[in-house]
Amino acid sequence: MIVAKPLVVVESPTKVKTIKKYLGDKYNVASTVGHIKDLPQKEIGIDIENDFMPKYVTIPGKQKVIQALKQAAGEAEDVYLAPDPDREGEAIAWHTSEILKKKGRRFHRVLFHELTKKAVSEAIGSPEALNQNRYKAQQTRRILDRLVGYQISPILWKKVKYGLSAGRVQSVAVRMICERERAIFAFDPVEYWSVTATLEGAHPPAFAAKLVKKGGNKISIPDEKTATAIHDELANARYSVEKIVKKTVRRRPYPPFTTSKLQQEAIRKLRFSARKTMTVAQQLYEGIDLGGETVGLITYMRTDSTRISAEAAGEAKDLILERYGKEYALDKPRFFTNKNRTQDAHEAIRPTSVYHTPEKTAPYLSKDQLALYKIIWQRFVASQMAEALVDQKTITIAAGEFLFSASGSTVKFPGFLSLYQSADDAISAENEKAKGQLPDLAEGAALTLLSLAPKQHFTQPPPRFTEATLVKELEENGIGRPSTYATILSTIREKGYVELEKGIFKPNELGFIITDLLVQNFPDIVDVDFTAKLENDLDRVESAEMNAKQLLEKFYEVFETRVIAAAEEMLSVKGVGLPTGIDCPVCGREVRVKVGKNGPFLACEGYPDCMYSRNYERDEKGRIRPVEPVHELAEGEICDKCGRNMVVKQGRYGDFLACSGYPECKNTRSVHGNGKGNPTGVPCPEQGCTGEVIEKRSKRGKVFYGCSRYPDCTFALWDKPVQRPCPDCGAPYLVEKETKKEGKMLRCATRGCGYKEAPDAVQEPTKEPEADTEADRKTE
């Protein structure tokens, strides 16, 4: 009797080749190519009334993958589920078991923390049961994210602009960036001065010392007048060495990398983005062909643990003894303690074998792979090396009642620093080099003053976030988890709420507007402490300390109330607009911030009686300033009403020609010439426009409908508008549409509304507003 081969299921196609090589012909190996099931895209997919039961559907395009999995399983009695050893991997394992379920078939969960022959063989030899609590934690996070995204986003579509979204974690990150920007706006620099003396003893080198005290008290020099007075007192003073303090400081190496620390270091040292770091790390984990042998070079790269195995530490010690000698090696391994509640399922990120050195693997790695592998390898090996010994010297210099201080350090024994220096170590080394070397001096020795330099300074505002400092801030505040940092940073840019300029995050106007609306209407959702507590609660679900249903009920009890209130009470930026405190220069009423299809702009609250509108910018204090359009002379263009020259003006809908005699002559025309058309009786729906929608023909003769005030307004659509408001979303018009199946019908043209003549045909949103989890990375 022929027994069918057991099936091993992994999530990444890249792993298949590696696993097959290690397991040989005794097993079939297949891939899910990421997630195979998820919540539906066109509906919320959560039965709130039925204990928040999720509705899973096959991800579009995955039918062929499922068929291939079933074919690979065949008549196998044993299926080993080996997706990544984290929550997302657990969800993939559960969904795979559901589609491959068969009478008499047994499912086993195997966790590959590293892809080496030994690790794979041991994992297959000691499988576990599927972890229901880990799956529940992933599912609960997904439900929370879906509730937030699908219930807040439609409110933003109605109140601000279609297509906007809110995410449970990303919105907190955007708020952090906005609050940092407002702290910069509010910052008022304070002047202060320093005084630096350049001194020399009996023998060179000369050295610099900074004034620190007067009369035994810390000195403060607020302005130039004070600095000048101190300079005059010190110019003729006698300088001598009052005290010399020498000490040797022991420097311990850093732990091996966690996910966030790897991202921070790669951003600073290698100029990688967080997403690029994780992509390259995934390649190193899944396996590299080292001249005919495929080897996973690093352990699993999504972890917040600093734990390492005794075996790995022992191997590192052997290599250190061989390469550096006994004085660089430790008598016993150095282990690092984890933070509270850190998930300890995985080790820290380390090489699977220290003998796969960067030098040996270099010929088989790309430039980016080698750069990342090198810092992972060096950081781990350095963590098992001897401490560095640094000699520090501080010299106190007396000058009358004033005291100066000079300090410097030299490396007595490099220890781990001979192999690895972090980005901060490199900066410190450069600073020490810039200060120069201190001379050998004795207490009481006289010094010669070579120069005395007062210098003006100003206090600096808090710095804007870089990718590295934002990851650090998220980690320190407990926002997100290792698997989500790269997704968070990418999503907040893709959603258009922040911009990354020269490596610095800055919020844009939409970011400010959405953050303010969420803070006012959903304070919990964008609260750092609340979000961090929710992350801890998800950890407690995984460790079976908390019931998932109770967590969701507690969250939704408050959240539902907020949603109901926001639907009615959230300020409509489309309609009313946000107050600015700026008077309209035309009519004196308040100018407000509104959002149109081209983004935020200023418009008079007196619209439609007053048509004043402008683009705007913010000054260094965050104050809104209208941007006046620049008018350029249009050569050869003469006003056909008064004979003056025409100028090119910029409106919210592009360039147009206007008479230079405005306001006496208000003649305007298109830069492309005038266009007439048949009226439809429908007013142009664009905010601030007084035109009418008219029937037009394109250059190819096709009928379309556009604003009569083109080019001042570029509103256009293909379907004929009808002056009848949509009863569902309040859109000012419907459109005529004819199909073979339904004939001619009136429909709403607003995306996501879906209203047509049948009153019961309202459809759900056609896209998912937001996703916070790593599910996205595993659906491709």
Cα 491 from Cα 767, distance rounded (Å)? 16
- What pLDDT is stored for residue 758 in this prediction? 43
Q: With CA atoms as reference, report the closest residue to 405 among 207, 615, 120.
A: 207
- What pLDDT is stored for residue 508 in this prediction? 93
Q: Is the CB of residue 725 less than 8 Å from the CB of residue 740?
A: no
Q: With CA atoms as reference, report the closest residue to 298 among 368, 348, 335.
A: 348
| pLDDT tens column, 308-344 | 999 999 999 999 999 999 999 999 999 988 765 445 5
**pTM of the entire predicted model:** 0.79
- What pLDDT is stored for residue 724 in this prediction? 79
Catalytic residue among 300, 373, 420, 556: 300
Q: Sheet harboring 7-10: ordered strands across?
A: 28-31, 7-10, 78-81, 106-109
| pLDDT tens column, 247-266 | 999 999 999 999 999 999 99
Give yes or no: 300 in active site.
Answer: yes
What are the Cα distances from residue 587, in Å, to 29, 437, 493, 605? 74, 69, 38, 10
Q: Which DSSP helix (H) or strand (E) runs through 65?
A: helix 63-73
Range list of H helices, 522-573: 528-542, 548-569
- Amino acid found at 58: T
Mean pLDDT per 10-residue segment, the chain (780 residues): 82 89 91 93 92 94 93 93 92 95 94 91 94 95 94 93 88 95 96 96 92 95 96 94 96 94 93 92 92 89 90 95 95 83 71 95 96 97 96 95 94 94 82 80 95 96 95 91 86 89 92 95 92 92 94 95 95 92 94 88 90 90 86 75 81 65 77 59 77 74 79 81 77 81 80 61 39 44
Q: Which string of DSSP letters, residue by residue, matches 223-269? A: SHHHHHHHHHHHHT--EEEEEEEEEEEEEPPPPPB-HHHHHHHIIII
DSSP 385: B
Instruction: Determine the 3-state secondary structure of 520 from DSSP.
Output: helix
Instruction: List the beta strands (DSSP E) in 73-169.
Output: 78-81, 106-109
What are the Cα distances from residue 624, in Å, to 185, 579, 618, 652? 12, 11, 5, 18
- Amino acid found at 291: G
Q: With CA atoms as reference, report the closest residue to 38 among 117, 152, 145.
A: 145
Cα 660 from Cα 764, distance rounded (Å)? 50
